A = this chain, B = another copy of it.
Amino acid sequence: MAADPLSRVFAALADPTRRDMVARLAVADATVGQLAEPYDVSVQAVSKHLRVLQEAGLVTRSRDAQRRPVHLEAEVFDLMTAWIERYRRRAEERYRRLDDVLASLPDDDPTDPTTTERGTPS
């Protein structure tokens, strides 16, 4: 149970029920019971889901008498977007470079004198 933060966030959001809870918490804070209401599972199951979200840092909980209001912590999203954007950018850069190569290797039309000279020939 000692996974790195990024793994915990991704794993937490890999469950559709938990994603839906996050979606609803983005609109307003809610108690465990309120969160459990729409789903066809026990309150205990929802409580477990919330613990997963909490340990992923996606959610915090306060006290209001017996109620434990849940609050969405949106900053953790940055962790994911940072990772995703990093490699997405890297991949796109690679494709861009590939496009350049393809663009520099034209039709090889022997009747076209502008294509007979190649850039960086070995």
Query: Residues of A with Cβ closer than 8 Å to B?
Result: 3-4, 6-7, 10-11, 13-16, 19, 22-23, 25-28, 72, 74, 77, 80-81, 83-85, 87-88, 90-92, 94-95
Contact in complex: A88, B92 (CB < 8 Å): no
Interface SS majority for chain A: helix
Number of copies: 2
Q: A72: which B residues are within 8 A, CB to CB?
A: 87, 91
Q: Are B27 and A90 in contact (CB under 8 A)?
A: yes
In the bound complex, residues from chain B placing their C-beta under 8 Å from that of A90 are 26-27
Q: When chains A and B are docked, how far (Å) is the Cα of A95 from the Cα of B25?
A: 12
Minimum CB–CB distance for A22 against chain B, Å: 6
Decide if B27 touches A94 in the complex (CB within 8 Å): yes
- Could you say which of A72, A81, A88 has the most chain B C-beta atoms within 10 Å of its C-beta? A88
The residue from B7, B74, B77, B95 contacting A16, defined by CB atoms under 8 A apart: B7
B87–A23 CB distance below 8 A: yes
